[in-house]
Amino acid sequence: MSASSAEDFEQCAHIATALLEDEELVRKYKKSITWGVQRYQNGRSSNKKRKITVFPCNDCDVPLARPFLCLHCSYAGCWNNNHMVDHLKKADHLFCVDAKSGAIFCSQCDDLCYNAKTEKMYLASVLSVEEKQTRFQVSNKPREPFKAWSPSEEERTALQGTVSIPCQGRRGLLNLGQTCFMNAVLQSFVHNPLLRNYFLGDKHNSKLCKTEDCMSCEMDKLFTEIYSDELMPFGPVSFLTTTWQKSPELSGYAQHDAHEFFCLALNSIHSSSKGSTNISCNCIIHSTFAGQLQSDVTCERCHNVTTTVDPMFDINLELKDKDKGNDGESTTLMACLRRYTQPEKLGNKEYSCDKCRKATHDASKRLTIRQLPPVLSFQLKRFEHKTSEKSASARKLDSVIRFPASLNMMPYTTFSEKDNFAGAGPEALYEYDLFAVINHEGQMNNGHYTNFARFQDQWYRFDDDKITPSTLGDCLKSSAYMCFYVKRHLEYKPHMTPAYVLVREAEAIREKEMEKEKEAAKEAARMKEVEDALLATV
């Protein structure tokens, strides 16, 4: 957003005036934000409990989980009981700040007001703290410094005449007839930061793409609709039509499984992405969801280990018998992960040792995660199918699964073993934060999919076309069917060129070669004409 367009959204002239005239207020604002970010960062560790400084309200002594600080004195007060607002009126002070979000409350406007300059100061303060406090700093390899985007002359020309709109990123999706399974997955895609940055960054343009039934084009259209200024619910009709064409099993108006649609969508987007290949693909889907599973089979007789590595795009977690009761007992996502990565005995004739050269009854198999993806997707297997000679049955498992807001994946990786720990790297690269959850309500034959998703620091509940402000606590209490976590710190690969850039460069090289071939053909034709003219005169 340009400076002029950003000012159009500003409602408070008092803040703008104070920023120009009161240097002490600016200093106090930056100091408050720095304190708030440091306090928040210290409490985010997923594997260590750190002591967090908690301010009490100066009036009621209630500990302030989200403190508001007066920008004119040392007063800290609570918001829910109006103590901060009352203080501003009694002391005749103008402003207070939410130390976590950087939002400024103006007592004269009686509202939280947006200001472009304070927004820049807030982002700069947050960035400064994070660069200094990063916990994966290594010797002689400092964190890559942030560089603000500055448009080139070509980009300035392209932006002329454009109109800025607020990117609210929250829009309901119409149920087109038993399509809640699709809507829940699409909302998780919309709130996926890597997919969002890719499609909003115009890495795939549906108006320029010539591929028929292209799922990447449908994703581009979806993000365009969601991040528009339109507030009415959007009906993803063409997305549904393309899905039916890609998968006849998901066509029609019967109820379908959200996880099945999730897998189909990933495969279809991958197939239509720029730079998609069958080997070492770095398309947007592989760059976002792809990891590696390592399977180690150990012969108990000779201790020979057979290792295989397979790709993974999500992790499917079983619910054990003790998790299936309806007596209020619950388990955790971490317990499911521990069972997933525990060694298990193989049955008779399931393994033939290459070293022993015969089938063995003493062998164990263990799965671990060899390579973690930027986005982790978990599916909890709540739908159980049993078949026997006499009948087949299916049921839904309604057991409560507690899942965390932050997750450390180090214990479930191949590097968790002492022998492999040297290659593990900084522990901070194993930390993930929750950003979306898909829920299934009801039974198998008459259920309904909804989901929770995080937009910046605010949680929302999406129920098709209905959007309800929610909280992280409500999300963590929900009955999860799929959970999505994003890496807190993405690995920086300065020497890796994205696939779309490689394709663009290859196209440019090919165009130059074609131009050279045309010029060479013209030159050859011209020389032929000269030779023919000389022969005619002889």
Catalytic site residues?
180, 448
How far apart CA 244 and CA 264 sit, in angstroms, is: 11
Name the nearest CA neighbour of 109 among 23, 17, 30, 32.
17
With vertex at residue 282, the alpha carbon angle to CA 308 and CA 426, rounded to the nearest 5 degrees, is 65
With vertex at residue 88, the alpha carbon angle to CA 85 and CA 92, rounded to the nearest 5 degrees, is 150
How far apart CA 289 and CA 273 sit, in angstroms, is: 14
With vertex at residue 13, the alpha carbon angle to CA 10 and CA 149, rounded to the nearest 5 degrees, is 40
Beta bridge mates, 394: 385
Cβ atoms of residues 102 and 33 within 8 Å: yes
DSSP 244-288: HHH-GGG-SSS---HHHHHHHHHHHHHHHSTT--SSS--SHHHHH
- Identify the helix (H) or strand (E) that includes residue 352: strand 352-353
How far apart CA 222 and CA 182 sit, in angstroms, is: 13
Query: Amino acid identity of 212?
Result: E
Beta bridge mates, 293: 310, 369
How far apart CA 497 and CA 382 sit, in angstroms, is: 40
φ/ψ of 3, rounded to 5, equals -65, -40
